[in-house]
Amino acid sequence: MTVASEKDLIALLRIGKIVGLTLQHMLQQVEPGMTTRELDKIGAAFLKQHGARSAPILAYDYPGHTCISINDEAAHGVPGDRVIQPGDLVNVDVSAELDGYWADTGATLPVPPVTPEMENLCAVARRALDEAIKVARAGQPINRVGKVVEKLARRNGYTTFHELGGHGVGRHIHEKPSVPNDYRKRLRDRFEEGMVLTIEPFINNGKGRIYTAGDKWTLKTVDGSLSAQYEHTVVITRDEPILVTAV
């Protein structure tokens, strides 16, 4: 969507804060021995407390209120009986709707003991989000995001996923335009003032290839490698974007 009024912006910031707080609440509750279903229920209760509805359930009848992906699960992990273990890399993705407005955020948490590789992978992914946000300004080519993300990944010996990137959001969970995390020279779209979208680098320490698991939802790396993702919903301006999901 494109923000057309102060009312739009206020409503987006309201749902953005809710999903941001839900994400932080869930990450604070992560501990070895709990199942991903138990963690999802924590997120579901928090969203309900604030009057918000799970976006993946609302839009796709997804079998969980949030997406929880562990280790070789790159994205869209379905909450279930999997037990979180010490040393796991846990990604939580929270998206929700309130009063017709949608927002989306995510982050990756290493569960102690944390290896240097996990720590570095997450650090590079967080830096990629920061760098991508800096170039997301009205009038700039959208492919600048992919250029900075891919360059940073390669410089650190990592890859990105061609299939996973940011997207428009605001009136639905997935809207146009796409915001790839790899550089696409032929992509001519530009950021427009007021545009609402997600910026979400995925950084992988393997080949950067994924497949859909048997549950028809979870995206796993073909080589069992790890990935980290950090995400904000933003509103594009002529300066740095407004971080809708920042808390």
CATH of the domain at 187: 3.90.230.10
- What is the percentage of the chain residues whose pLDDT exceeds 70? 100
Range 179-196 average pLDDT: 96
**Residues 2-61: pLDDT tens digits?**
999 999 999 999 999 999 999 999 999 999 999 999 999 999 999 999 999 999 999 999
Residue 135 lies in a domain: yes
Query: pLDDT value at position 40?
Result: 99
Residue 119 lies in a domain: yes
Q: If you write DSSP's letter for every residue of the chain in order, what string do you get?
A: -B--SHHHHHHHHHHHHHHHHHHHHHHHH--TT-BHHHHHHHHHHHHHHTT-EEHHHHHH--SSSSEEEETTEEE-PPPSSPBP-TT-EEEEEEEEEETTEEEEEEEEEEPSSPPHHHHHHHHHHHHHHHHHHHH--TTSBTHHHHHHHHHHHHHTT-B--TT--EEE-SSSSSEEEEE-SS--TT---B--TTBEEEE--EEESS---EEE-TTSS-EEETT---EEE-BEEEE--SSSPEETT--
Range 92-116 average pLDDT: 98
User: Residue 166, SS3?
Assistant: strand
Residue 1 lies in a domain: no
Residue 86 pLDDT class (50, 70, 90 cuts): very high
* Structural domain count of the chain: 1
Domain range holding 151?
6-243
Dist. CA 88–CA 69, nearest whole Å? 10
User: Tokens 């170039």 — which residue?
Assistant: 135
Query: pLDDT value at position 164?
Result: 98
- Nearest 5°: CA angle at 177, between 193 and 206? 120
Dist. CA 79–CA 93, nearest whole Å? 11
Dist. CA 121–CA 108, nearest whole Å? 10
Residue 196 pLDDT class (50, 70, 90 cuts): very high
Query: pLDDT value at position 12?
Result: 98
Query: pLDDT value at position 36?
Result: 98
**Residues 206-234: pLDDT tens digits?**
999 999 999 999 999 999 999 999 999 99
Query: pLDDT value at position 79?
Result: 98
How far is C-alpha 28 from the geometric centre of its chain's CA atoms?
A: 17
